[in-house]
Amino acid sequence: MNNLDTNINFIKKTPKVELHLHIEGSLEPELMFKLSKRNKIEIPFKTVDEIRSAYNFTNLDSFLKIYYEGSNVLITEEDFFDLTWEYILRCKQDNIVHTEIFFDPQSHLPRGVSFDTVIKGIHKALKKAEKDFGITSKIIMCFLRHLDEEPCFDVLKQACNHKDKIIGVGLDSSEKGNPPVKFKRLFEQAMKEGFITVAHAGEEGPPEYIWDSLDILKVKRIDHGVQCLNDEKLVNKLVHAQIPLTVCPLSNIKLCVFDKLENHNLKKMLDRGLRVMVNSDDPAYFGGYLNKNLIETSKALNLNLEDIKKLIENSFKSSFLENEKKEKWLEKIN
Ligand code: HPA
Ligand code: ZN
C-alpha cells in the first residue's frame, strides 16, 4: 500500500469527532425537496440538480443567503428529526463517534417555528443516535451576529428551559462588520446561566475578532480562526493556551477564503503547534462530510500519518466530552 492509501485507510477506520457542524447546513437537496413538498413551501428551484448548481459562492454572505432560504422548508419537529437523523447516518458512515452540533434558532423563530419544535426534533434524533449507534453528542446554540444583541436575550431565555440539552452558545452568520464586542452583555448573561461559549472568528474577519472572542466573550474554542496566522502575537497566545481552532477546509475553499485547497494554511497551523482539527461546517453546501474533508486536505497539503493523527487527537482533546470519555477515546486511538 502506498502512503496515500495508508492515510485514506487510517482516516476511514479511526474513530473521529466533529466539532464544527451547522445542522441546517447538512440539509441535502433531496431532503430540501422532500420537505418543500411535505410542507407546501415554495423554493426557487425545480429540481435537485438545479439546487446543486446554485451552490457557487463568492464569499460567506453569498452562501448565507442560500443557506437561510434552504432552512425555510424546516417546519415541524419531524423535519428537524429527519434533518438530524440524516446527518447521524453520515456520522456512522464516516466513523464519527462524537459530534457537537450548532443550530440557529433565529432562522426559524421569525417563521413561526417554535424553539421547542426545533430543539425537540434535533434532540430526539441525537438520543436515538446514542441508543442505536453509541454516537454521543452535544448541542450548541448559535446567535446570528448580523442581528442586534437585544432580541438575542429572549432567545437565550428560551434556551434556559433546555439546559439539559444545550451545552453552550456560539456566534455565527456574517462576520465582517459584526465584531464580538457587539454581543458582550449577551455572552456575559449566557455564562451566568452556565453555558460554555464559542464563536466563529477569523473566518473572513480580522485577527482582532479572535482576540476579542477570547478576551471579551471568554470562548473555549474559536470556530475557523484561519486568519490568526496574520498576527504573530496572537499565534503565540493560541499555541501557549492550546485554544482549539475548528478549521473547515472545504468550506474555506467554497467561500473563497483560500483560492484552492493546496493553498490552505492548515499544515502551517499544525506545524506552528496550534490546536487545529478538521470539520465539515455545512457539508450539504460545501461538497463533503468529515472524511472527505480529511482525505482531500491530506492529499492537497501532503499531510503525513503523524499530521492526520494529530488532527484527530486534537479533535478529541478539544471536545466538550466528559474527561473520562475523552481519555478512553484518546487511549483507544493511540
Ligand atoms: N460561517 C458563519 N456562519 C455560518 C457558517 C459559517 O461558516 N455556516 C453557517 N453559518
Ligand atoms: Zn460554521
Degrees to nearest 5, angle at CA 317 with 313 and 322: 130
What CA–CA distance (Å, rounded) separates 103 from 158? 14
pLDDT at 318 (0 to 100): 98
pLDDT at 2: 78
In the numeric block, the cell 453555558 is attached to 195
DSSP track, 107-161? GTGGGT--HHHHHHHHHHHHHHHHHHH--EEEEEEEEETTS-STTHHHHHHHHGG
Q: Ligand 1 test: best mutation among 103, 203, 293, most atoms within 8 Å of CB?
A: 203
Q: Using only C-alpha atoms, what is the Rg of the chain?
A: 19
**In which residue are the cell numbers 430543539 written?**
119
Q: pLDDT of 198-212, one tens digit each?
A: 999 999 999 999 999
Q: Say how far residue 143 (Cα) sits from the centre of its chain.
A: 13
Share of the chain above pLDDT 90, in %: 98
Q: How far is the CA of 60 from the centre of ligand 2 (A)?
A: 10
Decide whether any atom of ligand 1 lies within 6 Å of the 281 Cβ: yes
Cβ of 91 less than 6 Å from ligand 1: no
> Ligand 1 in contact with 71 (CB < 6 A)?
no
Per DSSP, what are the bridge partners of residue 102?
22, 140
Query: Region 152-175: what's the mean pLDDT?
Result: 98
Where do we find the cell 456575559? 188
| Any atom of ligand 1 within 6 Å of the Cβ of 291 | no
Tens of pLDDT, residues 260-309 = 999 999 999 999 999 999 999 999 999 999 999 999 999 999 999 999 99
For residue 284, the ligand closest to its alpha carbon is 1
Q: Where are the domains of the chain?
A: 3-328
Residue 68 to residue 32: CA distance in whole angstroms? 12
Q: Which three cell numbers stand for residue 40?
A: 407546501
> In 3D, which of 169, 165, 150 has the Cα closest to residue 219?
169
Pocket of ligand 1 contains residue 182 by CB under 6 Å: no
Work out the pLDDT band at 334, boundaries 50, 70, 90.
Answer: confident
Ligand nearest to the CA of 221: 2
CATH code of domain 3-328: 3.20.20.140
pLDDT tens readout for residues 33-81: 999 999 999 998 999 999 999 999 999 999 999 999 999 999 999 999 9
pLDDT class of 168 with cuts at 50, 70, 90? very high
Nearest residue by C-alpha to atom 7 in ligand 1: 281
Ligand 1 pocket check for 172: Cβ under 6 Å: yes
Terminal-to-terminal C-alpha distance of the chain = 21
pLDDT score at 248:
99
Rounded to two decimals, what is the model's pTM?
0.98
> Annotated catalytic sites, by residue?
203
Between the alpha carbon of residue 72 and those of residues 10, 265, 286, 331, the distances in Å are 38, 34, 19, 43
Mutate to test the pocket of ligand 1, among 171, 281, 285, 286 (most ligand atoms within 8 A of CB): 281
Q: In this model, does residue 1 exceed pLDDT 80?
A: no
Average pLDDT, the chain: 97
Q: Which three cell numbers stand for residue 187?
A: 455572552
